[in-house]
Amino acid sequence: MEAFGQAQWYFAILALGTALAVPIAALPACISQGRAAAAAFESIARQPSVSGDIRANLIISLALIESIVIYALLVFFLLQGRLPSLQQIIEAAAG
């Protein structure tokens, strides 16, 4: 029964980590993407003649910022496989 209690803690913390991995990474990434887009639009409004260059660089830098969140998403995919199903929890609790 001792081991079951420890496993409960392990899975509770694992579930929290799985659920919070993407939101914690996404929050600052959203803010910085917004800042990048705002700066790009400002400079396009100031100098519409170079809007093509600015747009290409904006897309690439947005992709680079986004990749951090994508790494968190991959961690989420990996952790998600470690979580037991409801069926397994019920069986473990009964046994």
Partner 1 sequence: MSALIWVLAFLLAAAQPVQAVSAVPDAGEPAATVEMEEHADADHGHGASMPWHDQHTVFNRVCLLLRDASLPAFGAFGMSPEQAEEIANSVFQPFVVMTWIICGGLMVLSLYVRKRLGRVPQKDIAGFVEMCVDSLRGFTRGAIGPGGEEHAPFIASLFVFITLSNWAGLIPGLISPTGVSEGDFLLGLNTTLSLALVAIIYVHYVAIRKAGLKSYLLHFVGEPWWLFPVNIPIHIVGEVARPVSLAFRLFGNIGGEDKVLHFLAIIMFLSAVPLHVPMTFFAVFTGLLQAYVFTALTCSYIAGFLEHQGDAHGNDTHAGPATAQA
* DSSP H or E run through 41: helix 2-46
CB 84 within 8 A of CB 12: no
Question: Taking the complex as a whole, how short is the minimal distance between the CB of residue 31 and partner 1, in angstroms?
Answer: 18
Question: Taking the complex as a whole, how short is the minimal distance between the CB of residue 39 and partner 1, in angstroms?
Answer: 13
24 contacts: CB under 8 Å, gap ≥ 6:
72
Give 48 or 85: the residue with its C-beta nearer to partner 1: 85
Indicate the DSSP class of residue 83: S
Residues within the interface to partner 1 (CB under 8 A)? 7, 56-57, 59-61, 63-64, 66-67, 70-71, 73-74, 77-78, 81-82, 84-85, 88
Give 41 or 77: the residue with its C-beta nearer to partner 1: 77
Question: Taking the complex as a whole, how short is the minimal distance between the CB of residue 45 and partner 1, in angstroms?
Answer: 20
